[in-house]
Amino acid sequence: MQETDRKTVTLVLGGVRSGKSRWAQELAAKAARVAYVATAQPLDAEMVEKIRRHREERPNHWQTFEEPLELGRVIVEHAAAFDVMLVDCLTVFVANLQGTAESDPFCTARRIKDFLEALRALPASAVLVSNEVGSGVVPPYPAGRKFRDALGELNQRVAAIADNVVLLVAGLPLALKGTIGVRR
- Residues paired with 37 in a beta bridge: 65, 87
Helical residues (DSSP H) of the chain, grouped into ranges: 20-28, 45-57, 71-78, 90-101, 105-120, 142-161
Give dist(CA 64, CA 50) in Å, integer.
Answer: 15
Instruction: Work out the angle at residue 40's Cα, subtended by the Cα atoms of residues 168 and 15, and round it to the nearest 5 degrees.
Output: 20
3-state secondary structure of 171: coil
* CA distance linking residue 177 with residue 174, whole number of Å: 9
Annotated catalytic residue within 13, 20, 37, 54 = 54
> Residue 78 catalytic?
no
Q: Report phi then psi at 166, rounded to 5.
A: -120, 130
CA dist., res. 94 & res. 171, Å (int): 24
Give catalytic residues, as residue numbers. Answer: 54
